[in-house]
Amino acid sequence: MTLRWIPVLVLAQLGSFGLIAKDQERWVATWATAQNLVRVAPARPPATPPSTAAEPSGPATTTQAVDARGLSNQTVRMIVRTSIAGTRLRIRLTNAFGGTPVVVGAAHLAIRAKESAIVPGSDRSLSFNGKPGCTVFPGVVLFSDPVELSVPPVTEVAVSLYFPGETGPPTAHATALHNTYISKEGDLTAQAEIPEPVTTQSYYWLAGVDVAAGAGAAVLVTFGDSITDGARSTNETNHSWPTLLAARLAANKQTAHIGVANLGIGGNRVLRDGSGASALARLDRDVFSQPGVKWVTLMEGINDIGREASVPAEAVTAEEIIGAYKQFIEQAHAHGVQVIGCTLTPYEGAGYSRENGEAIRVALNSWIRTSGAFDAVVDFEAATRDPANPKRLRPEFDPGDHLHPNNAGYEAMANAIDLTIFTRK
């Protein structure tokens, strides 16, 4: 009797990791990020001779100067956290805002162990149309060939890319919330770890990681600004609200097949470009192009409101933002995507808070709750506001800037989402 059931149990366990027949598979995003607009970069400084002084112990840290100069004869190892499981994976590279082609000499994918180290035996060399490298031309998104690797849900994965020549300013995402490890020189994509790396908290030319999944799998895209991006959450703790929601979905048997792709950008605005292309300008690239997208959360507008404090000419009205919301919903429905409206969290005390801005925020939240325009609503304001002063974040959720929640605040946001939204017929 026992022998008869062993194969069934093994198949069931493999099935939970996404094992399916290749003729039934569909690609679904298990992780994704949004790209920022490229900044004009200064020329790369001349190389300096090797120093004879002792090197400092541990990884070095650097600033956005690394972003500005790009990379040359260097390996970058980036850490991402999957949402749904899979045994067959691919990555997506993008040169969305670059002006020149970028050559990738080698690419590897592995399960992360600690810091830049990978789990022994998990390293996989990636190819592109059968070749070990590729050229990513301006504006292009390029898929790798799939590789076999069993990756459980909510698992940290390392993506390593080697750039043999000058890249110029990178297409990047500046809020990785994980350390990225950059080698001093050479192709280290297959190495167990990156020795004495420079570290940043950015992603470079990496748009997404997809898994082959069954027909029932689908993806929620979380779309918004820095609060969706996870700003002020603790680095290396996976405490953005989309990441915490992904863990909730994975732990629930009825929703374990639903991935989460975080497409938030810090400083993003609905109507105008900011630190990223405006929400309306990036819908097609960042939402509708995600493999397997079925739902999208919309939480954006606070930066449009706050901008008036520094640039009065860019003041907005509630009606203008609502008009953009309506367009967003219409476009999403045309693509068969359901839209979940999210109320804007309190921001009194933030550097750009103003009374007239508060009136706009209240009007937007009222419309989100009562218009019936959305397929579902999540009340993030109710989850995070101070009962003693509803214009402010709860003190225990406020890291001090009165705008972004801290880890506890992001947990409250993730827990405020009704998972039955994703099981309704």
Residue 413 has pLDDT above 60, yes or no: yes
Higher pLDDT, 79 or 45: 79
CB 142 within 8 A of CB 135: no
| Sequential DSSP letters for 89-124 | EEEEEE-TT-SS-EEE-EEEEEEEEETTEE-TT--E
How does residue 258 score in pLDDT terms, banded at 50, 70 and 90?
very high
Q: How far apart are CA 189 and CA 187, in angstroms?
A: 6
Of 66-75, 218-227, 359-368, give the lowest mean pLDDT range. 66-75
Of 48-57, 76-85, 383-392, give the lowest mean pLDDT range. 48-57
What pLDDT, in 10s, does the model give residues 149-162?
999 999 999 999 99
CB 33 within 8 A of CB 287: no
Given this structure, which CATH class describes domain 216-422? alpha beta
Q: How far apart are CA 363 and CA 319, in angstroms?
A: 9
CB 264 within 8 A of CB 230: yes
CB 230 within 8 A of CB 177: yes
Structure tokens belonging to residue 233: 């959450």
Averaged pLDDT, 258-263: 98
pLDDT score of 69 = 74
pLDDT score of 66 = 59
Residue 327 has pLDDT above 70, yes or no: yes
> What is the reported pTM?
0.89
Residue 49 has pLDDT above 80, yes or no: no
Residue 47 has pLDDT above 60, yes or no: no
User: Three-class SS of residue 237?
Assistant: coil
pLDDT score of 359 = 98
Residue 138 has pLDDT above 60, yes or no: yes
CB 376 within 8 A of CB 296: no
Give ∠ CA 89-95-97 in degrees, rounded to 5: 140
Structure tokens belonging to residue 228: 């969706």
Averaged pLDDT, 337-342: 98
**What rounded mean pLDDT belongs to the chain?**
89
Angle between the N-to-C axes of helices 241-251 and 407-415, in degrees from 0 to 180, rounded to the nearest 10: 50
Of 30-39, 172-181, 369-378, give the lowest mean pLDDT range. 30-39
Sheet harboring 376-378: ordered strands across?
Answer: 258-264, 218-224, 293-299, 338-342, 376-378
Averaged pLDDT, 241-251: 98
In the chain, what are the domain boundaries? 59-207, 216-422
Residue 41 has pLDDT above 50, yes or no: no
Q: How far apart are CA 141 and CA 23, in angstroms?
A: 24
Averaged pLDDT, 25-29: 93
pLDDT score of 37 = 63
CB 91 within 8 A of CB 134: no
What pLDDT, in 10s, does the model give residues 86-129?
999 999 999 998 889 999 999 999 999 999 999 999 999 999 99
